[in-house]
Amino acid sequence: MSISANSVEEFNQILKDNKYVIIGFWADWSKPSVQMNQIFDQLPKQYTQIKFLKVEAEKLHEVSLKYNIKSVPSYFFVSNGKPLHSFVGANPSELNLQTINFVSKIAQLDEDSQNNNNNNNGPIDEETMKKLKLQEEENKKKLFQRLESLINQQKVMLFMKGSPDAPQCGFSRKTVEILQKNTFVFGSFDILSDPSVRNGLKEFSNWPTYPQLYINGKLVGGFDIIKEMDAEGELESLKPTA
Amino acid sequence: MITCNDITNQLKTTFNDPNDKIHVEDVTGGGSCGAKFELIVGSDKFEGLMLIDRHKMINAILADILKQIHALNMKTWTIKQYNEKMPSSK
């Protein structure tokens, strides 16, 4: 799990005690930042050499000012109290990428300091780095295989927020309505129930939002596209023959 | 802050044919979560592409801008569609 700082003093202490820290600024009113927290919480398992520190931006106003936070989520990759890099936005793959980047940078730093003073401080050797990367790729391959089989589960598959009977978002609801109006028989998957599918499918299909409609394993589009195709009378022609 | 001009200029890098049509409107309004835009692009570069591929094309062109705005609604038409559908087409 990641840790949280509840006061400025606590924040400063954590940065003092830990060589490598990734700070994630969030706010309870920003849904994307709260969702990113779920991903953030998963990272410590993979990267035990780094502290993952969550900061509620508005609670620790002083810290937010110091880091010049303009929007949440924002992430800072800090080595010995100094941010090496940072980025803004609810972008899971960017977080993964920059974390991997950070890991390789600190491996380099550790190696350098070891060469200088023979200080053994939990270095990450190249072998471990390679292993981490391989594991990352392996996980992704497995996830994509799973997505492939999910989108082909039925001829028509809707990946949505909630279920057709209880949609959790207006766009998902309206998409269900259009499909039902056109008497489509379709399966559905609730992406809110599975963050790995939710994030993976965006990358897999290069499409940033939900709902996503698949027919014969091919992405047709989101609500805007389905609405437009329905209005043009083009949707009907995509209906698979039973 | 992203403006309509930023979006138009970015689109022009790809839709550079004199016949290509680009309209961008800021529809942010009050009480919303962030900057919202609507755009209409008319171009024969869309000829033969599925809607999803047309939208993906726009998403790719505007990738950097999309990170900074909340929502984008788009119409991606061929010139023929544009002439048929554009309300009070210029």
pLDDT in tens, A136-147: 899 999 999 999
B48 burial type by CB count under 10 A (0-12 exposed, 13-18 middle, 19+ buried) = exposed
Same domain for A74 and A20, yes or no, is yes
CATH number at residue A186: 3.40.30.10
What integer pLDDT is reported at residue A128 of this predicted model?
A: 83
* Residue A217 falls inside a structural domain: yes
What domains lie within chain B, and their CATH numbers? Answer: 4-85 (3.30.300.90)
Same domain for A153 and A228, yes or no, is yes
What integer pLDDT is reported at residue A120 of this predicted model?
A: 47
* Residue A136 falls inside a structural domain: no
Please, which pLDDT band fits residue A160 given cuts at 50, 70 and 90? Answer: very high
Strands A187-190 and A212-215: unpaired
A23 pairs with which residues across the strands?
A53, A76
Question: Based on C-alpha coordinates, what's the Rg of chain B?
Answer: 13
* Residue A100 falls inside a structural domain: yes
Do residues A41 and A2 lie in contact, with contact meaning Cβ atoms separated by under 8 Å? yes
Same domain for A189 and A114, yes or no, is no
Provide the whole-model pTM: 0.58
Range of the domain at A188: 149-238
* Residue A197 falls inside a structural domain: yes
With CB atoms and an 8 Å threshold, state whether A225 touches B52: yes
Of A39, A48, A53, A49, nearest in space to A3 by CA: A53
Across the range A110-119, mean pLDDT stands at 68
Of A51, A40, A47, A48, nearest in space to A16 by CA: A51
Residues of chain B with pLDDT under 50: 89-90
Q: Give me the helix-helix angle, A195-205 and A92-117, nearest 10°.
A: 100
Predicted confidence (pLDDT) at residue A121 exceeds the cutoff of 60? no
Which residues of A fall within a CB distance of 8 Å from B50? 220
A199 interfacial to chain B (CB closer than 8 Å): no
State the nearest Cα–Cα gap between B50 and chain A, in angstroms: 8
With CB atoms and an 8 Å threshold, state whether B51 touches A208: no
* Residue A192 falls inside a structural domain: yes
What integer pLDDT is reported at residue B32 of this predicted model?
A: 58
What integer pLDDT is reported at residue B90 of this predicted model?
A: 47
Predicted confidence (pLDDT) at residue A119 exceeds the cutoff of 50? no
Number of domains within chain A? 2
Which residues of A fall within a CB distance of 8 Å from B56? 206-207
For the stretch A206-225, pLDDT in tens is: 998 899 999 999 999 999 99
Same domain for A81 and A175, yes or no, is no
Distance CA A179, CA A212 (A): 12
Residue to test with chain A: of B1, B49, B51, most A Cβ within 10 A: B51
Indicate the DSSP class of residue A29.
T
With CB atoms and an 8 Å threshold, state whether A208 touches B59: yes
Domain edge (last residue) among A124, A140, A162: A124
State the nearest Cα–Cα gap between B51 and chain A, in angstroms: 7
Which residues of A fall within a CB distance of 8 Å from B52? 207, 219-221, 225
Across the range A125-137, mean pLDDT stands at 86
Same domain for A96 and A155, yes or no, is no
What integer pLDDT is reported at residue B88 of this predicted model?
A: 63
Same domain for A119 and A153, yes or no, is no
Same domain for A153 and A230, yes or no, is yes
Which residues of B fall within a CB distance of 8 Å from A89? 67
Do residues B15 and B43 lie in contact, with contact meaning Cβ atoms separated by under 8 Å? yes
Same domain for A11 and A50, yes or no, is yes
Is residue A24 classed as helix, strand or coil in its secondary structure?
Answer: strand
Same domain for A110 and A157, yes or no, is no
A208 interfacial to chain B (CB closer than 8 Å): yes
Same domain for A30 and A110, yes or no, is yes
Which residues of B fall within a CB distance of 8 Å from A171? none
* Residue A144 falls inside a structural domain: no
What integer pLDDT is reported at residue A124 of this predicted model?
A: 65
- Spatial neighbors of A27 by CB under 8 A, at least 6 apart, are A33, A56, A57, A58, A72
Same domain for A114 and A159, yes or no, is no
* Residue A29 falls inside a structural domain: yes
With CB atoms and an 8 Å threshold, state whether A225 touches B55: yes
Predicted confidence (pLDDT) at residue A30 exceeds the cutoff of 70? yes
**DSSP string covering A59-71, please?**
TTHHHHHHTT--S
Contacts of A129-138 with C-beta under 8 Å, sequence gap 24+, read A129/A103, A129/A104, A132/A46, A132/A100, A132/A103, A133/A100, A136/A96, A136/A100
* Residue A132 falls inside a structural domain: no
Query: Higher-confidence residue: A73 or B34?
Result: A73
Same domain for A157 and A107, yes or no, is no
